[in-house]
Amino acid sequence: MHHQPSRLIVRDALVVTLDAKDSVYDPGDVLIEDGVIVAVGTVEDEAAEGCDRVIDGAGRLLVPGLVNAHTHSPNNMVQGTADGLSHPAYMWITQAYTANRTPREHYVSAMLGCIQMLLTGTTAALDHFPGQTFTAEDVDAVISAYRDAGMRAALGLRFYDSGFDDIAPRGATLSKDVAADLERLNPLKPMPLADYGALAADAISRWHGAEGRLKVFPAPSNPERCTDEALVLCAELADGHDLGMHTHLLESRVQAEIAQEKYGCTMVRHMADLGVLNRRWSFAHTVWVDDDDIELLARSGAVVVHNPESNMKIGAGTAPVPAMKARGVRLALGTDGAGTNDNLIMHEALRLAAMLHRPQAASRADWLMARDVLAMATAGGAAALLADDDIGAIEAGRRADLVLYRLDAPWWVPVNDVMNQLVFAENGSSVDTVMVDGRVLVEGGRITAFDADAILAEARPMMEANLERNAELLGLARHMADLFS
């Protein structure tokens, strides 16, 4: 367990609480005890006596830490590899970049993501891990990274016990040689459900709740890649251990078509009929849904995680987020993995989410505004992590996951409208201080919680080694990707 000051106070900051009243204090103080916010506003000197640390917030903006509600840590070394690729082509190519890794490589890749997120104001993440079958050692490596970095995280144990029909070349016949290579090299062979159940139960027993900020969720790769028995198992694990569940949902048009072929209805309707659609779910993407699906999602209380950058880059489509908001669907925001987004900077996702849907809106009343997307990146992300009452706002009783931004950057001079500028002007480079559970992880714009330079140095040669190991797989992946060009 990391040592943290038992009492800490931030003095004289511009405090934007994002609480239910949108309270703003300028200047304001935030008093923290044992990682919990105990007072916000004006804290008298007498109440602040005995603090282990005083942080000067003058000339700084203090806001809740951002929550990246959908990302993939194996992709943290894959940036710059997916331009011009469709969703199925990307899915094949990324296998050669991420398959057959050692636990240490998983650890370093996860730590790379932590560095990037912490330096740009993200304090919590939902990591959909990995892209292939995995071992207990792989799980230990990744969740140890979040532990060592000091971040708050939910590790969604991604699995599938059926086929990746959505990236199979429909109507194409593979040559005997390619079919043989696919059988020999394919990293996407299903995991037996009993094996997944045992791995998940073990990881939950050892890691869920660790240090009060680490969680483990069952997380199908995609509902259509799983049997009904697998979806029921996830629901049983979640109900039995009070867990969230996470998955991709209807990211591509072909996935919607496959659901209709398999079930005679939409994927959302099938999950509802199966009795597994509930508030524990967070659904990444959710692009190809109809009005009935949106109503079912709203009634269930599930969280939809919007990933505007990756959906646009690989041409998957645009999620009907304004319609979901109008119907009361709970919404969060994610970067997706660095393979289809190329960085984990939530400020870029904030800006695009606010602007993307405006040209198609019937009126400006339907636009997502700055406050809407800030809610997605804070309270919405908290809901996806089943941490609604713990994070997402600055108020007494919540955990102290907080970020201080410098206000001396040109885009902050002058401060005209703090929420608008936080969404449309800020790019993450003004982050000065970051804390999780009251423990300072970034100070003066530099990681202080661990040796980030050592991680970067270790990571630099890893991809070359990974591709050398996967040379045959890369050849196969390129052939499969060409079938979708």
pLDDT in tens, 215-249: 999 999 999 999 999 999 999 999 999 999 999 99
Q: What is the pLDDT of residue 4?
A: 55
Residue 170 half-sphere exposure, CB side, CA atoms within 13 Å? 9
pLDDT at residue 108 is higher than 90: yes
- 60: which 2 tokens? 């700084």
467-474 contacts: CB < 8 A, separation 24 or more?
467/96, 467/97, 469/100, 470/95, 470/96, 470/97, 470/99, 470/100, 472/181, 472/185, 473/95, 473/96, 473/99, 473/100, 473/185, 473/187, 474/93, 474/96
pLDDT at residue 405 is higher than 50: yes
Q: What is the pLDDT of residue 5?
A: 53
Q: Which pLDDT tens digit goes with each residue over 370-380?
A: 999 999 999 99
Band of residue 154 on the pLDDT scale cut at 50, 70, 90: very high
Pick from 100, 113, 145, 103: nearest CA to 341: 113
Measured CA to CA, the distance from residue 76 to residue 204 in angstroms comes to 24
Break the chain into its structural domains and give their ranges: 7-64+393-446, 66-384
* CATH value of 7-64+393-446 in 2.30.40.10, 3.20.20.150, 2.40.50.140, 3.90.950.10: 2.30.40.10
Q: What is the pLDDT of residue 97?
A: 94
The answer to whether the beta carbons of residues 437 and 391 sit under 8 Å apart is no
- Average pLDDT, integer, range 145-171: 93
Measured CA to CA, the distance from residue 440 to residue 408 in angstroms comes to 21
Band of residue 268 on the pLDDT scale cut at 50, 70, 90: very high
pLDDT at residue 48 is higher than 90: no
pLDDT at residue 2 is higher than 90: no
pLDDT at residue 7 is higher than 70: yes
Which residue stretches of 123-278 are H helix? Answer: 136-149, 176-185, 193-207, 228-241, 253-263, 267-274
- Average pLDDT, integer, range 117-133: 97
Q: What is the pLDDT of residue 252?
A: 95
Q: Which pLDDT tens digit goes with each residue over 249-264?
A: 999 999 999 999 999 9
The answer to whether the beta carbons of residues 453 and 417 sit under 8 Å apart is no
- 311: which 2 tokens? 């959906």
Fold of 66-384: TIM Barrel (3.20.20)
- Average pLDDT, integer, range 311-335: 97
Q: What is the mean pLDDT of the chain?
A: 96
- Average pLDDT, integer, range 42-50: 90
Q: What is the pLDDT of residue 3?
A: 52
- Average pLDDT, integer, range 399-417: 98
pLDDT at residue 454 is higher than 70: yes
Q: What is the pLDDT of residue 371?
A: 98
The residue assigned the tokens 């990682």 is 35
Q: What is the pLDDT of residue 1?
A: 47
pTM equals: 0.97
Which residue stretches of 6-135 are H helix? Answer: 45-48, 87-98, 103-119
